[in-house]
Structures are given as C-alpha cells and as structure tokens.
Amino acid sequence: MSDPVEPPPTGHMRVLITGAAGFLGSHLCDRFMADGHEVVAVDNFITGSPDNLAHLFGRPGFHFIEQDVTNYLYVEGRVDGVLHFASPASPVDYLEMPIPTLKVGSLGTHKTLGLAKAKNARYLLASTSEVYGDPKVHPQPESYWGSVNPVGPRGVYDEAKRFAEAMTMAYHRYHGVDTRIARIFNTYGPRMRPGDGRVISNFIVQALRGDPLSVYGDGSQTRSFCYVADEVEGLYRLFHSAWTDTPMNIGNPREFTVLELAELVRALTGSRSEIRHHPLPTDDPAVRQPDIGLARRELGWEPAVGLEEGLKKTIPYFRAVLEQETGARARVLADG
C-alpha cells in the first residue's frame, strides 16, 4: 500500500537520486539544488566519489545515504521523484564488476521502482544507447529494438539496462507509476574518472601524460559525444515533462570517428603523443548516433555545446586532477 503523501509545495520537489556520487548523478544533484529542490542522494561509492558531492554536504536541502540500492531502501518522509542513475557505466567498470552491474540493473531498479510506487513519486530511469548494441539501423531511433549479444562480455551492461527498461514499463503499465526512460549516449565533462576507460577520458589523460593514444581498430568507428551540461538539461526536461509513452534518446547527434576525436584531443592539449592502434574489443559497436527528433519535439531540447568547446571545458579539469595526483605521489616519496 502506498504511503499517504502530502503534495509538494508549489515549485518545490524532494527527489531521490541513486548513483549520486557518480559523474552524471552529481551534476544532476547540482541542477536540482540550484533550482531550489531538496535532494536525497544515495551511493555506495563502488564507482562514485565523495569528492563529487563534497560541495553539497552541509547545505540545507541536501541529504546523503550511503547504501547499495540492490538492498531494501527506506527513505523517511515525502519523495516526489526518484532518479535511478546507480550503475557501473564504463567498460572498465562493468567488465570488472559484471555481477554488481547485473544486480543494480535488476534488483536496484526493482527496489527504486518499489520506492516510487510507495511514495507516489515520478520515476526516471537512466538507460543507455548500449541497448541498441551494434546497431543495424543508423542513426538509432527509439523504435529500434537493437542488436545485442546477450552472452558477450558487454552483455552484462546492455542486458541489465534492457531488463531495467522492461521492469520500468511493467511498473508503469501494471502499477500506474509515472515513469520516464532516458537512453543516454556518450557523455563527457568534468568529474569523469581519469581511469574509467571511456574514450574521451582515455585520450585526454594519455595526451596530457604524453602517452600514446589508444585507438581500437582503425578508428573509423563512430561515436556521438554530448557535453554534460547539455545532457543534464535534457534529462531535467524529460523528468519534468509529461512524456511517458516510450524511452527517449538524450544525446548529441553530431557524429565523429574515434580517430577524429584522437586528433582533436591531441591538437587541443598540444600533445605530441603518437596514435597507437589496438585490436577491437568484442562486440564494439561500429556506429553510434542518436535520432533526437523525439526530444526536439517533446522537450524543445537539443545540445548547444559542440565537441571542441566541450573538450576545452573538460581538459583543464583533467589537467588539475593529474597535477593533484602528481603532487600527492611526490609528497608520499618525500615522506617515505
């Protein structure tokens, strides 16, 4: 039975965000707080970092719960929205943690949907472009069912998100939960982890260190890169919209080859790093480009930050992180 919940004050919401200490989750916390909403942040720090939320601790309206969301989640008081962003989300993470990835997509989604049902809260699932697998349709519209290898090494992430989408729509149809599903395409910006294995963070870190840039295959595979501020704006609009019918692509439709990205990163960092080619990983998608016609029509949203501009905003962050790491190592050696 659902809790009797008082309606929120006009213009004010109390939202719960899982994966709040992660890259995207922490930026979402910032956005809701900036607009005067109350945030209950949940994370177990399996891939997230307390540093991403340090500036919010102690602020009125911000609350933190350290917990694995695959376990029963109790939240006292009113909850108007649940945004489920908890999951390992980079190849390095979900290949090293396949079982936790599957559990957070299944059990974690079940627990957070149960909370939304109990609190009569709106629900937003962070899904992914990986549900399209190695697509046979290009660009990818929401109506495309995808081409996924369920037993390949990437399947733990792809299928966890596909299951999460199915669970979300089941709660919407059977229990009447007010749900939204965002299919997120490659996103980048400050607060990415230097070692997370994503192509932009890999290239920037390698370029700044003077290491060879690792390009898999011949680099002709394409990706579409969305700057984090644009991504958060799209997600925020989707959450506040009335759209519940289908998942929605939230990403940048401008397509680049991986080799083009490597050359651009090298130019913007002033690096002399060589480009070194490696064998393609198993089931690596050949193309990735969102059809965002639905988001344009229903949300009035499209990305505003181009790749070069976004990289110029991102590179100083990584430079500062690497300088901090170098300084920490030097202090350890000095104290040794």
Residues with catalytic roles: 157
Q: How far apart are CA 81 and CA 115, in angstroms?
A: 10
Instruction: State residue 291 phi and psi, 5-degree precision.
Output: -90, 115
Which pair of tokens denotes residue 320?
A: 């500062």
Strands 38-43, 14-18: pairing is parallel
Distances in whole angstroms, Cα of residue 107 to Cα of each of 24, 189, 278 = 21, 29, 36
Strands 222-224, 255-257: pairing is antiparallel
Q: How far apart are CA 239 and CA 295, in angstroms?
A: 12
What does DSSP assign to residue 59? S
Q: How far apart are CA 269 and CA 251, in angstroms?
A: 25
Residue 306 CB neighbours (<10 A): 14
Least Cα distance to 105 among 93, 117, 121, 118 occurs for: 93
Q: What is the DSSP string of 187-232?
A: EE-TT--TTS--HHHHHHHHHHHTPPEEEETTS--EEE-EEHHHHH
